[in-house]
Structure 1
C-alpha cells in the first residue's frame, strides 16, 4: 500500500509535480529533457528525481551517459489514477514544457 502523505508531499512541489506529469505524458525522459524543459540545473533536477525515486514513484535506467526516468508501473491503482486525472485536467500546467521537449535536438532518438 502506498502512503498518501508521501504522494501528496511529492505532488506539492512544482518541479516534482511537473516532472511526474511530463513523464506521465511522454513515457520516459532523460535528465537532460527535464533540465531543458524545466529550465533548471542538473543538480536540482537530480535532487528532485532522487526524492521521487526514494518514494518509488519513478524508476531510473542508465543508458550510456544518460539516465532515463519513468513512472513506476507498479504503483497502486489509486496513485496511477491520480496521476492520470491530474495530467488530463491540468495539461496547460506543462504545455510550455511539452513544447520545449518536442523542440529539443535528438540524435538517434536521444536528446543531445
Structure 2
C-alpha cells in the first residue's frame, strides 16, 4: 500500500477558523487544520516540536541525540512537521536549523479556545 503524502499547509492562504466551541468546523476548515493535528499526534513529533518550540531555533544536530532513532527517521518526522506548516527550516552548511511557525500555533490556539465557564470566572 503506498504511503499517503501530507500536503504542505500554507497558513497565509487560509484565515482559519473560529474556535470550535463557537461553531462546528466546515469540511474545508477541518482539512486545513487536520494535518497539523495529525503531525502532532505522534509522540516523537510532539517531543521534537516541544524541543524546537523551547528555543528560538534548533539545529538538527541537537535534536537527533535525544532519541534512540536513526537520523533518517528523525528527518522523516521533521519533514512531516514542515509539511504540516508547524516549523520552518534553513540549511546552513551541512546542518538544518528548525524554528516554530508562530502563526500555526496561534491558529491552533484560537481554534482550541473555550469560553470561560461560570465556575472559572468566580474563582
The TM-score, its normalising length taken from structure 2, stands at 0.58
Q: Greater helix share, 1 or 2?
A: 1
Structure 2: how far apart are the matches of 1:11 and 1:45?
14
Q: Write the distance in 2 (CA, Å) between the matches of 1:62 and 1:22.
A: 18
Task: Please identify which structure carries the higher strand content.
Answer: 1
Q: Which residue of 2 aligns with 1:46?
A: 75
Shift of 1:26: 1.8
Matched ranges for 1:1-112 at <5 A: 1=14, 3-75=32-104, 77-79=106-108, 81=109
**How many corresponding residue pairs?**
81
Contact kept, 8 Å, 1:15 with 1:48, in 2: the verdict is yes
TM-score w.r.t. length of structure 1: 0.63
CA shift, 1:65, in A, is 0.9
C-alpha contact (below 8 Å) 1:29/1:70 kept by paired residues? yes
List runs of 5+ in structure 1 lacking aligned partners: 83-112
Q: Secondary structure at the match of 1:59?
A: strand
Larger Rg, first or second structure (1 or 2): 2
CA RMSD of aligned residues (A): 1.9
